[in-house]
Chain A
Amino acid sequence: MMLPWFQWLESSGIGNAIRLSPWAFAVIESVHLLGLAVIGGAVLLVCMRQLGVGLQRQPIAEVARETYPWLVISWVIMMVTGSALFLSEAVKCYYSTPFWVKMTSLLLATIFTFAVQQRVARADETRVGPMWQRVVALVSLVLWFGVGAGGRWIGFSG
């Protein structure tokens, strides 16, 4: 049902241009990887702090607030470069299970991080117990791991 749509995306101007270039995919992929390092760092610092390790002497709210701009910047870089990579091989992605795992995880991880994790992390620490901070951190880690592992595995499939 969605296949014609994916075929149309792949034949779009951007998709074609990337596919026809010998180096465009490699360059965009590299920027995607650099974004991965930054978003990984931003997510990990908050999750680890919620788990009671890493910057454990700082308030959770401060770690969340201070890393937030980098989370947003790297998320945008990931979306832009990821979309470009997707456009160049949309049909391959359509048939790739890891791609769908990644997209599902990405949707959930994004909603959870921005709507739940950030709020819980910035909430009054007397109001939200350490147990909940830990649960939130673990859910976030699992979801983002799904995004990363799914993403890496798109390249191995097909």
Chain B
Amino acid sequence: MLGAIGLLCVLTALLGRGRLAGPALFTLATEYTIVEATGHSPAASVIAYAAGLIVVSELLLWSAQLPRSAAADRAVAAGRLALLTAIALAAALLALAVLAAAGLRLPGALAAALLGTAAAAALLALPWLLLRKPGSPRAREHPADAPGSEPQAAGTGGQAT
């Protein structure tokens, strides 16, 4: 049922230019969580689902960004296709790595503590990266990024009255 709703959301997001991309993503993930909570899926399905989910969300968000009557360059389309392939592959590999890491049997408590600390540090670094002012070092290098430095229109000139 949730899967059907998720697919409906995906369809609506595609037609409505990505407006329901967030709900679609969360509904599909919730559906998978319920499946995981009630049973156990094989590793291959987890990897495929992780890669598929991020590909769907990328496509939905791109469809939202694309203006209705935009004329796109072939280079842009090719670049996006390459990026999408890279993301799908990276997602599959990462999901595989996460599953492999979950199956690790560590020899001692110290190793487990170190790995846990590293994982916690990585998780804490993520919000720091997100909350950092985007592009601030570059903005200082290029003052054109700063507000108010856009090119101004030339004066229209006076008129005889």
- The reply to whether chain A is a binding partner of chain B is no
A-side residues, CB < 8 A to B, are none
